[in-house]
Chain A
């Protein structure tokens, strides 16, 4: 299309539009209508977005960690990178690998912590807790898994492990949200009447110890599994990984040992 032709085309079009306008058919306030429509649509889109964000947002954590009720009393001892509870001479050893941020671990605790505590208290089982940190990147700020796992060792040394552990799982932070802070963990220790060393122990942190414990646990559990994977929660009964999706696993573990 040549320049002259284009110009001709344009003139014709303008002429046609002028005629239309002269007939009074042209909308006069299109820009006002369009402006209003766009503003309304944008407001609706952003509003719906904010609504969805708020609906799906992890809830804010309270100022202090709610203290879990006291359960059955059992013996607790720190042994290397593990927390050994219950009867060391029991015929069944149940090793539990947990990350304090892992939702599956929260679910596991909800389902089994009472019976595990009872079995430990009755001396029917040696229950070995392995606090590990594999979800450090999933809290904002990062690192709650390590902080909580480290603090659980402090709690075991300060004589408050059972309720400290239960409290953290009962009030488990959500992935993607903030975790409990060091100060809040220390406060929980005070609420549970921890011995004096607890607060400084949590304050100091135990990232290296937790990292080492996690690595050892990873090698141990993945070596026991045919697929060579390590995830939390994992449970090992007398040296064999058990399928905890089978709800009877704990009864089986305890009854097999009795026989």
Chain B
């Protein structure tokens, strides 16, 4: 297999980074503007004790927005991607358990959510979409280096300083 050059890999990285960021920003925004619906969506999974539904419904969109922001900037890319990957696994478990238990819900991934008519669930599509996002996150965990990132900008700065120190020492 031919090794891809660094600019190509960095380019693929930024596609993964911005793609994942867009998913989280859109999902977070749609949830944050309709907190009532988000509570319904979270409650519909029937995974959490009733007292936890509210706090989770409040926190989830904020976490999504924060992750999206970090990813757009390319700041702490590896950590943001790692948290994203874990979050996506949790969300996929939620959808899968709903499917397995025969619940009839919409995942509410991008706003909406809650119970839907029997037969109009879309579990396979929802899981496939989450899995796709998870692959993007995984790429960034393995190779967080991307073009046009804050991380890259800081790395360049550190290199400069290290080099300057080296230069002065000689």
Which residues on A are within 8 Å of B, measured CB to CB? 1, 14, 17-18, 20-22, 26-28, 30-31, 34, 38, 41-42, 45-46, 49-50, 52-53, 56-58, 137-138, 140-142, 174-177
B43 touches A140 (CB 8 A): yes
- Chain B neighbourhood of A56, CB < 8 A: 33-36
Nearest chain A residue, comparing its CB with the CB of B58:
A53
CA distance A28 to B162 in the complex (A): 11
A26 touches B40 (CB 8 A): no
A58 touches B36 (CB 8 A): yes
Partner of B37, one of A20, A42, A176: A176
- Chain B neighbourhood of A41, CB < 8 A: 69, 73
Partner of B161, one of A14, A21, A38, A176: A21
Residues of A contacting B: mostly:
helix
CA distance A71 to B70 in the complex (A): 58
CA distance A138 to B33 in the complex (A): 17
Residues of B contacting A: mostly:
helix
A18 touches B166 (CB 8 A): yes
- Given A30-B154, A34-B153, A45-B69: A21 and B163 within 8 A (CB)? yes
Nearest chain B residue, comparing its CB with the CB of A135:
B115
A49 touches B62 (CB 8 A): yes
Which residues on B are within 8 Å of A, measured CB to CB? 5, 28, 32-40, 43-44, 50, 53-54, 58, 61-62, 65-66, 69-70, 73, 75-76, 114-115, 150, 153-154, 156-161, 163-164, 166-167
- Chain B neighbourhood of A26, CB < 8 A: 157, 160-161, 164
- Chain B neighbourhood of A176, CB < 8 A: 35-40
CA distance A34 to B61 in the complex (A): 24
A-B pair count, CB < 8 Å, reads: 98
CA distance A34 to B157 in the complex (A): 11
B160 touches A21 (CB 8 A): yes
Ordered by A's residue number, 29 sampled pairs between the chains whose C-beta atoms are within 8 Å are: A1-B5, A17-B159, A17-B163, A18-B166, A21-B161, A21-B163, A22-B167, A28-B161, A31-B158, A34-B153, A38-B150, A42-B69, A42-B70, A45-B66, A46-B65, A49-B28, A49-B65, A50-B62, A56-B33, A137-B40, A137-B114, A140-B40, A140-B50, A141-B50, A142-B43, A175-B40, A176-B36, A176-B39, A177-B39
